[in-house]
Structures are given as C-alpha cells and as structure tokens.
Amino acid sequence: MHQPAWYSKNLRRIFFDMHLPDWTEPGQSGGRLDGLQNVATAFDPKAIVAEFVRARINVAVIFAKCQYGNFYYNTQIGHKHRGLGNLDLLGEIVEEAHRHNIRIVGYYSNMWDTQIARTHPEWMAQDANGQSSYDRWPSLCLNSPYRDLVHQHLHEMFSLYDLDGIWSDILSDLPCFCPRCQDLYRQATGEAMPRSPQKDGWIKMVRWQQEYLGDYIASCREVVKTLNPDAAFVINFFGTPYANPSQGLSFKHLPLSDFGSSEGYTEWHGLLFPSYAARYMRAGMLDRPFEILTGRFVHTWDFTVRPLAQMRFEAFSIVANGGAVCVDDEPYHDGRMEPLVFDHLENIFSAIEQREPYLHEAEPMPYAALYHSQKTREIDEVLNPPSPPKKLSLVPKSNVNASAADLLPSLMGSFKALIEAHLPVQMVDERPESLATLPRYRIVYLPNILTLSEVEADTLRQFVHNGGGLVATGATSLYDAMGQLRDNFLLADLFGVDAGPRGDYTFPYFEFAPGPLTTGLTGRPLPHYTAMWHVCPNTDAIKIAATRRNPLIETCGELYYHNNQPSPGPDTHEPAIVYREVGQGRVVYCAGLPESNYARLGHSPYRHLIANMIRWAAQAEPPVQVEGWLNTEIVPTRLADDLIVHLITGLPQRAVRFGFYHTADSIEEQARLSNIRLRIPTTTTRAWRVPHNEELPIERSGSAAWITLPSVGDWETVQLIDAVK
C-alpha cells in the first residue's frame, strides 16, 4: 500500500471539532426557530491557521460535514451552514494551511445526519424494538440509498478541494434492525435477525454486519482514491475492547484505513488509556502509521481547558509509543478559538518536535505480547451482558461476574500490571499477519482469552517449543468460536492440566507455595474475587505455585460472614497456578484471573504475581530495568543499533468518590523526580539524555551496567549507544 511520508512523519495534529446547529433549519431546533444566535458567524480562516502555525501543528482535521448534516464549504448538493454566509470555511483553510505546509483532512459524519434523517426518514436505522434511531443524533442505515448520497458528497469534496485526506466518523452505530436490513440478513442466512445478545445467532449476525460495514467503507474509499490516490482515507476506529463488537468495527476493517485513528480520551477510560490505545492501534494497523485523539476538555466537549501537565502526559504517552497525537479542540459557537488551548499546544508540540529524530523510524523493543481476540470480544458480549448498577457496598462484590467472560477488566488489569512492573508490552491478535509477529517476543500473555482456533493453538505450541513463554489464565481456549463450552482446554497439552467445572465458591483464595513464581509475594492467602476453575494435572511434569483455598462458607441469604467476604477455610491442595517447561519454552497456567482482580482492586500482590509469571516464562529480563516509580512508564524502542528509552511520568491528584461518581482523573503538576537508576544493556558504549545533549556516566559492576538520571521531568528520553548492536 502506497503511504506518503506525512502519514507517519507528521506527529503534531489538531482535531477542530465543531458540530454546530443551524437553528434556521426545522430539524435542528426541536421545532423552535430561534435564529442563528451568531452560530458559525465569526470564523477567520487566516487567524485559525496562524494559531496552527504558532502551536507547531502540521495536520488539522477540519469539518466538511457535521453530525447535524451541515456543510462548511460551498456545497451544491447539501445544506451549507447559514451562519457562514459567503465564507467557504473549508476551502479557505485548505488554501491558507497549504501555504504553511500544514496538511488538511476533511471531517465527514456518516451515520449521524440530522438533515438527511429529516428529509429522508425512510433511510433511518431502527433499533431492536423497531424504533427509528433518534436518541440525540438520528442514525441512517448504511444499506439504504443514503450510501449513494455519501458517495456524491465525497466526490464533491475531493473535486472542489485539494484535501490531504478524509476522516470518516460514526461507523459504529450498529446494529440496524430496519426492514431493509432484516430482508438482507434473511437472504444471506435464511434466518431472522436475533434482537439481543442473549438470542441464538447473535454472533453470526455481528459478523454479518461487519461484512456489510466493510463493503460500505471500501466503497467510500474507492470514491476518494479515484479522485486523489495520495489522499488519506481514515476511519475513526471506535472498536477497542471498551466498545461492544455489535457496534460494528473490528480489526478486519483497518486495512481500509491509510492510518489508524482512535479516540483515547482519559475522561472516558482513565489515565492509562492513551498508552493502551497507542499500542492497541499499532497492533491493529500491523505497524502502519496511526494517531490517537486526546482532548483539551476536562469532561468531553464542555469548553473547559485541561491542565497543561495532563495534556503533556497524555500526548507524550502516545508519541513515545509510536503514534501521532491529535488533540481534540472545539471553537466557541460563533467560531472563535480559545487562545489558552494553543498556548498549551505550543508547549507540548515544541517538546515533541525536539525529539522527532528519536521518534521517527524507532520500533518497539519486543519483550511481552498481550493477546487480544476479536472472537473473544464477540463471545464476551453474549456471556457477559451489562447489568444495572447495584447498591454501593462497603466492600467489593465477591461474585463480580457470574459468567466465565470478563474481557475488559482482564485486558486492562494485565496492561496496568505490565506497565507498572516496567515490562515492555505490545499486542498481538488472531489475524494471521499478527500471529506471524509472535517470534519477536519472549512471552505471550493470554488473559482469559476464551476461544482459540486450531491455527492459533498450533502457532502458540510452536512458539513455546521454539523457546517462547506462555502465560494463560481462567477459561483460555475453553470455548469454541461461537461461544460453546468445549470438553477441555484446547491448550490442555501446554497447560499440563485438564479443565473441570467452574468452582462453587465465588470468593476463594490463592495459597502460595515457595518458588520462582511467588518470590516476594505475601505469605497470607490472597483473596480472589469470582470463582476459579477446577483443574486436574494431566502430566507429572508440572510444578504447583499455588493451590486453591476455599472460604469458610458461600454467602447466600442469611448465611454470611461479617461484610460478606468470608475468612479463608481449609486448603483444598488442588492446583490453582501451575508451571512447566515444554520443549525449549515455559508455560504458566492460572485457574483464576489475577489481572481482573488487579483491575478492580489495584492490590499490589496481583501485580507482583503477574510480573513473576511473565519474567519466569520469558527466561530473560527486559532490556531496561528500574526499581519502583510505578507512575513512570518505561518505553524502550530500537533505532538502528541504539536503544531509545522514554520515561513518561504523571502524578495524578486524589479523587473524591460519592456513590458511583468520582472526580475526573487530573494531573496539574508536572512530575519532578530525582536520582532514578536504570539498569541497561552491557553493550551500551555511551548514554545521552536528549534533547539536552547531556552525557550520562555508565556504572559497571561485573555483568551489570547502570546509569542514573539525577533529575527527571514528565518526559525524559535517553539514547543508549550500541545497546542492541
């Protein structure tokens, strides 16, 4: 695939976010024609681009059509926002930005379009109850004639303007149950569409809709590429594990996107998410270029300005992990901008620009691979339906999830543990192209990955026999691709245990035994929220790191113990964590979900357990090590023969909690640490702190080498010369 250099080189981006109502239009005012109220009347393209230049922005996403269905250029086939008058906003910004070598990508809203829904109600999508989708934004069906109109819009945009790309949004408002889609589904499958994840055939329906969504995206891409082959066709990939698979997007759609793009807002998913999203999109794009959106807002689109320290932390987390950072901004209703936003961006993008020689072409230093699975996401939606919030208890609920599926906490708890343990981690998934990258890594971690195919299982077996490490937890490989329980783990031969039933007790304990997996762990029983699986050894060649200890009772009705978390009872002596050598590799299997427990409780023994399992299975330490400093993320990357090590540190404020609410994550002060000592590869000949051009002395003792950073801010970058030669 042809990729112009700017796709990967231009790392400093802004998303000029502005869905502006035209209240002269009946469908956009709730029936009240209040006039424009100065909406969209004060845009100044030259002033806008001047701020882009000042902030050192080199890519901007500018609206062509918003979710109200209003156009921001001189369209002949759509409704131009009346507040613009004679101003061709998109056209003038393109012309002015190109004078300053700033790329302009047009924004286009697909399924949400108030204007079209009002004029063509027969094109609207329907929910499972047969209601037209008009909750905040009306949604259009992609199988309706609306698709042809979208093609006309794209043809007009790229015929009129020298756009550098299109950012295609709202491709994730599925499923649609309109009569048109029902007929198409019946023609394709001979069955009626299921109406909920609990109905038979839901997974089949989800995979069918992925196909027609892919066809829609491909048809739009073809229109754009026919007119401008070098224009970037970009989809907003709202398809991370936080999104239900039935919303539509999956990794299979990413080959249609010239660079990956996904929203990484911390107010949605926490301060860990920009780093996670960057690695997730890098894996999804198979190392092709990608960007992650962050916001300027405290709470999305509320016209606040996030603290500079937090915006720096989020942006640096992304670029250190190989992505471009695209900051989501919004003008005021009339088109005026908030100057403080661009003050912040100038600060952030200047720091990024200084380090770009050490960011471009750098590749992650592989160590651990965190396994993801689209099929497991689909099964999780069926097995683990969302439930309404329960009354807040004094203690965490022991049976937090009665089903075997617990995907999101398992993934995020794994990631949190790995980052805090300073273990380099990237992601792999079940696609053949992704599986082919497994030999890069020392170890692969499968956190409750419910289903694996025979191909995946064979690939993992070969990986282990060739010297790789494997850590798996919970019900990994115990289900088939349609969510049916197998008789045994597909990887029982690697695990060294056969699967039995899930335990009856929803609050068991780990009882640890001395050994390499339990070094440094508490000698006390460690509680495990949710039931573990019963497993039985199928070989003598295993060692037991922990057994399952049942609680005194199972809480039910009037039978309870204090605040419902019963004290540990007798040790069952049944294995809960086993480990073994297989071929040249090592395997660890855990019948519980330590990563899910860590996501919910944040209790450090779960993190230590996960780190111990990974280090033992990997048979090697990561290339750079540091003790402590849990809030510092270590990102080692390779640039030719050198190791470029980024240290990203954020120090968040404490939160206030009441009921189910808590203070938004916030960082107001830039980190200031001192005397951080890093263990580095012994091949390192010189160490430089960049971009300060400050040499750091290397301490050597036997087979170890160290450097000390006397002072550390929120983003430090160290170049280790010849570290990987």
On the question of pLDDT at 393 being above 90, the answer is: no
pLDDT tens string 259-274? 999 999 999 999 999 9
CA triple 529-535-536, angle to 5 deg: 155
Average confidence (pLDDT) over 207-234: 97
pLDDT tens string 112-129? 999 999 999 999 999 999
What's at 686, amino acid-wise? R
Two tokens, residue 441: 């890594």
pLDDT tens string 551-609? 999 888 788 888 778 999 999 999 999 999 999 999 999 999 999 999 999 999 999 99
Q: Per-residue DSSP letters for 415-449?
A: HHHHHHTT--EEEE-SSHHHHTTGGG-SEEEEES-
On the question of pLDDT at 421 being above 70, the answer is: yes
Q: What is the dihedral of CA 401, 272, 598, 483, to 10 degrees?
A: 40
Q: What percent of the chain has pLDDT over 90?
A: 89
pLDDT at 389: 55
pLDDT at 662: 83
On the question of pLDDT at 294 being above 70, the answer is: yes
Task: With CA atoms as reference, report the closest residue to 381 among 413, 400, 411, 407.
Answer: 407
Average confidence (pLDDT) over 52-78: 98
Q: Strand pairing partners for 718? A: 645, 689
CB atoms within 10 A of CB 707: 21
Q: How far is CA 663 from CA 99, 111, 659, 666, in A?
A: 43, 33, 12, 8
pLDDT at 136: 74
On the question of pLDDT at 391 being above 80, the answer is: no
Residue identified by tokens 């080498």 is 705
On the question of pLDDT at 4 being above 70, the answer is: yes
What's at 123, amino acid-wise? W
pLDDT at 556: 82
Instruction: Note whether 130 and 177 are within 8 A (CB).
Output: yes
Instruction: Note whether 530 and 508 are within 8 A (CB).
Output: no
E strands, 283-360, are: 290-295, 324-329
Q: Strand pairing partners for 510? A: 526, 548
CATH of domain 625-721: 2.60.40.1180
Q: Which CATH number fits domain 6-360: 3.30.70.1140, 3.40.50.620, 3.20.20.80, 3.40.50.720?
A: 3.20.20.80
pLDDT tens string 628-678? 889 999 999 999 999 999 999 999 999 898 877 888 889 999 999 999 999
CA pair distance 104, 531, nearest whole angstrom: 52
What's at 615, amino acid-wise? R
pLDDT at 627: 80
Is the bond into 432 cis (omega within 30 degrees of 0)? no
In this structure, of 26-30, 90-94, 418-422, the range with the lowest mean pLDDT score is 26-30
pLDDT at 3: 85
In this structure, of 49-63, 176-190, 391-405, the range with the lowest mean pLDDT score is 391-405
On the question of pLDDT at 388 being above 80, the answer is: no
Task: With CA atoms as reference, report the closest residue to 97 among 66, 156, 55, 67.
Answer: 55
Average confidence (pLDDT) over 249-267: 97
Homologous superfamily in CATH for domain 368-505+514-519+529-548+574-618: Class I glutamine amidotransferase (GATase) domain (3.40.50.880)
Domain positions in the chain are 6-360, 368-505+514-519+529-548+574-618, 625-721
- Greatest Cα pair distance, the chain, in angstroms, is 81
On the question of pLDDT at 320 being above 70, the answer is: yes
Task: With CA atoms as reference, report the closest residue to 422 among 218, 635, 564, 585.
Answer: 635
Two tokens, residue 476: 């990994």
pLDDT at 400: 73
Instruction: Note whether 36 and 26 are within 8 A (CB).
Output: no
pLDDT at 692: 87
Instruction: Note whether 49 and 14 are within 8 A (CB).
Output: no
pLDDT at 436: 98
pLDDT tens string 460-499? 999 999 999 999 999 999 999 999 999 999 999 999 999 9
pLDDT tens string 32-54? 666 788 999 999 999 999 999 99
Q: What is the dihedral of CA 624, 629, 632, 638, to 10 degrees?
A: 0
Given CA atoms 58, 321, 345, 674 in this order, what sign does their dihedral have?
negative
Two tokens, residue 455: 């191909």
